Amino acid sequence: MDIRTRTTLPLLAALCAAAIAALSLLRLAAPEFAAWYSGLSPSLLDRVVDPFFAALVGLLVGTVGVVVSLALFARARGREIPGAMEVAAVVVTAAALVLAPGNAIPVAGYAFALTAMGLVIVGTALLAIRRPFAGIPVAALLVAIGGYATIRLGGEPLLPDVLASLIVEAPRIAVTGAYLVLAAGIVLSAIGDGTGRGGVARWVLAHRVAITVIAASCAAPYAFVRATWLTPWPLFGPGAEVLAESSDVMVIGLSLGFGMLMAGLLTLGLVLPFGERFPRWFAGIGGRTVPVGLPVISAMIVAVLFVAGGAEFLTSVLEGRFAPVGAGAQIEFLIVFPFWLWGPALGLAAWGYAMHRAEESTVEPEAAGRREADAALRSRLLHELELHESREA
């Protein structure tokens, strides 16, 4: 990532840390706000300690988070920071994940679905501009799918309802986002320009393809389950009869499955060519280099979300909140919703991608330098040969 991105990230993390400190202070000093905050889904820490103690921990984490973020900002500008600050960064990151309000993944699922649909629409438009003979049929197919969904819904405005629900949840999303962005900002600041090569970093770089494939594969179980809703034998659903009568449930379920599938495909972009250069059929930007920060920052934020949400989901499954307590039911849920694996794997994949791009950025100038040196050598030899021939003549 370039210097501007590396200096912006810790400042954003510092802003989120300050917001967390302010929220925690309000929880301690304002009963009305404390009552509103208690309406949020409890964090992992809130499940085991008193709300007052959790607010104290949040205030401490927010305060230390500001200091750590500013230290990382200084390091991004070339200054040395003490080793204790690096330890504090790890502690703040872990604490932010434990303090983040729960139930973030369901809301994120709708956001993923809408984002995936938006990407498909934009991609189709760019394809139609660059290659009309391919893009126009794809656009017609999308219109047909949209028309079919509208007919199945009986003309009900499902998309506005989903957007309205997200707007209502915006304050809660912002609170959770502050914790997640703080954690992601610290991790991204630690990655820096991707040139670090410790033992773990070398291992991640060497195995980044396998790690990325594992991360992308985590989308397959959920996408497959939602695809079964199109058959008479739907899995993890209300039943074929209910789905036939409740078109909105069917459309929402398929949309979430599509969003998950797109997330898996985008994850593969961390090791495929379209993750380094925009496809040539993209009008306007086709063939250009993908900015390193675009996939790395996006993937790391999602990874942090999945780590926090996956830990919450794992504890909920083990406690029997989603299914009767039993090894079979618990294993099924953990396979269909493998956020506990996807989060760490996606984070490592993003780190490996950043190191790979950093390695390429150093190799390309060296190769260019060698090509220039070879060209200069050939030119000098040709010049000497011409001089030698002219003397003989």
pLDDT digits (tens, 9 = 90+) for 313-330: 888 877 777 666 566 777
Over 70: is that where the pLDDT of 342 sits? yes
pLDDT digits (tens, 9 = 90+) for 346-392: 999 999 999 999 888 765 554 445 555 565 666 676 666 666 666 66
Distance CA 39, CA 33 (A): 10
- Give 138 or 97, the one with higher predicted confidence: 97
Determine which of 123-137, 241-255, 288-302 has the lowest per-residue pLDDT on average.
Answer: 241-255
* Contacting residues for 28 by C-beta, under 8 A, at least 6 apart: 34, 52, 55, 56, 59
Distance CA 211, CA 299 (A): 13
Q: Answer yes or no: are the C-beta atoms of 79 and 114 closer than 8 Å.
A: no
Distance CA 170, CA 278 (A): 32
State residue 157's pLDDT score: 58
For helices 208-217 and 247-268, angle between their N-to-C axes, nearest 10 degrees: 180
Contacts by residues 70-73 (CB-CB < 8 Å, ≥ 24 positions apart):
70/10, 70/14, 72/10, 72/13, 72/186, 72/189, 72/190, 73/7, 73/10, 73/11, 73/14, 73/189
- The helix (run of H) or strand (run of E) holding residue 20 is helix 3-29
pLDDT digits (tens, 9 = 90+) for 67-79: 999 999 998 888 8
State residue 148's pLDDT score: 67
- Structure-token match 């760490």, residue found: 344
Q: What sign does the CA torsion over 311, 18, 186, 302 have?
A: positive
Distance CA 73, CA 2 (A): 13
User: Quick one: what percent of the chain has pLDDT higher than 70?
Assistant: 87
pTM: 0.82
State residue 99's pLDDT score: 92
Q: Answer yes or no: are the C-beta atoms of 223 and 181 closer than 8 Å.
A: no
Burial class of residue 63 in the structure, from the number of CB atoms within 10 Å of its CB (0-12 exposed, 13-18 middle, 19+ buried):
middle
Residue at 274: amino acid letter: F
Residue at 199: amino acid letter: G
Phi-psi map region of 237: left, alpha, beta (phi>0 left; psi -120 to 50 alpha) = beta
Tokens encoding 104: 């973030």
* Of 269, 111, 130, residue with least CA distance to 180: 111
Over 80: is that where the pLDDT of 228 sits? yes
- Structure-token match 């405005």, residue found: 157
Distance CA 81, CA 5 (A): 19
Calculate mean pLDDT across residues 227-245: 82
pLDDT band at 199 (very low <50, low <70, confident <90, very high): confident
Residue at 262: amino acid letter: M
pLDDT band at 296 (very low <50, low <70, confident <90, very high): very high
DSSP string, 316-350: HHHTTSSS-SSHHHHHHHHHHS-HHHHHHHHHHHH
User: Quick one: what percent of the chain has pLDDT higher than 90?
Assistant: 33
Burial class of residue 19 in the structure, from the number of CB atoms within 10 Å of its CB (0-12 exposed, 13-18 middle, 19+ buried):
buried
DSSP string, 108-160: HHHHHHHHHHHHHHHHHHHHHHH-HHHHHHHHHHHHHHHHHHHHHTTT--HHH
Greatest mean pLDDT among 35-39, 112-116, 162-166 lies in 35-39
For helices 3-29 and 170-191, angle between their N-to-C axes, nearest 10 degrees: 140
State residue 324's pLDDT score: 60
Distance CA 101, CA 178 (A): 10
Calculate mean pLDDT across residues 129-149: 81
- Give 236 or 357, the one with higher predicted confidence: 357
Over 90: is that where the pLDDT of 21 sits? yes
Determine which of 2-11, 22-31, 147-156, 267-276 has the lowest per-residue pLDDT on average.
Answer: 147-156
